Amino acid sequence: MVPTDATTEIRLDGSDDADRFSTFVRSFLSANGFPFVIIHDAPERAGQLRRVVFEDAKVSAKFASEWLRLRGTAGQA
């Protein structure tokens, strides 16, 4: 079983954000040695929510931090 702290929930704001997320995931995996990851759509929640689950909580925390930093940068453009 994957520890809960290895899961990051990402809410996407439309198709541009979904494209940015997809590009970010590919880039993150490549830069971090292609760690094992599962990405779930979460249709039971309103909006475009993804659950990103790594087998390592440290990788998950790094992923969440880098995604938040990227979104902050995109929001300033």
pLDDT of 77 above 50: no
The CATH number of the domain where 21 resides is what?
Answer: 3.30.310
Stretch 14-40: mean pLDDT: 89
Range of the domain at 71: 4-76
HEC per residue, 11-73: EECCHHHHHHHHHHHHHHHHHCCCCCEEEEECCCCCCEEEEEEECCHHHHHHHHHHHHHHHHH
Query: How many domains is the chain partitioned into structurally?
Result: 1
Per-residue confidence band for 4, with pLDDT thresholds at 50, 70 and 90: low
- The model's pLDDT over 59-69, given as tens digits with 9 standing for 90+, comes to 999 999 999 99
Q: Does the pTM exceed 0.85?
A: no
